Amino acid sequence: MSGYRRDIGEAHPRLPLSESGGEDAPDVFLDWLAEAIPMVRSLGIQQMQRDGDQLIWQLALTPNLNDKGTGFGGALTAQTTLLGWCWTTLWLRRRGILRDVVVATATQRFRAPVTDDYRMICMPAEANASERLAEQLDQKGRGRISLVQQLWCGDTLCLEASGDYVVLAQ
């Protein structure tokens, strides 16, 4: 997909589901994501991994600095929103579902400055949220899930965010 150019309003081609039917290799998904959403190349994502129901990113602070030498709130907000979108998209892909996902609501609470490389964690807001999303998709063909994101700089919780992500009907 490298070098692919598209016009405003033109959707980027979806990443085909894994032939093995398993999870996407993180580097393959992140490469596709950087093509689909060009600003991803500038976000400093160093690693992506899944741990149970959590999606975790390791990020570099340098590309996200503000004028004070700490994390730029706008970049951090974009990252929390995108991490939730990725959580939902990857959850669908593990189930063999290719569907569009959009963010419906997003909120952030900044608790401390980000002063070094950091990690972001995304997880469902409630223990049974994944099951409810699966039921909604089965019954209505669309669904919504509430996710929370946390940004940790070492042992310090710097940012808490939440968002509702909608899986659109086909």
Nearest to 40 by CA among 68, 18, 67, 12: 12
Q: Looking at the 3D structure of the chain, how many domains does it have?
A: 1
Whole-number pLDDT of residue 1? 45
**Would residue 10 count as lying in a domain?**
no
Q: Note the pLDDT of residue 166.
A: 98
Asked if 138 contacts 97 with a C-beta cutoff of 8 angstroms, the reply is: no
Task: Look at residue 13 and tell me if it is in a domain.
Answer: no
pLDDT at 43: 96
Residue ranges in the chain modelled with pLDDT below 70:
1-4, 20-21
Q: Which domain holds residue 121?
A: 26-167
Instruction: Give domain status of residue 19, yes or no.
Output: no
In a domain, 55, yes or no: yes
CATH value at residue 132:
3.10.129.10
Report yes or no on 21 lying in a domain: no
Residue 18 lies inside a defined structural domain of this protein: no
Beta bridge partners of 163: 106, 147
Q: What is the pLDDT of residue 21?
A: 67
- 48 found inside a domain: yes
Joined together, the tokens standing for residue 126 give 């409630």
Contact in structure between 129 and 108 (CB atoms under 8 Å): no
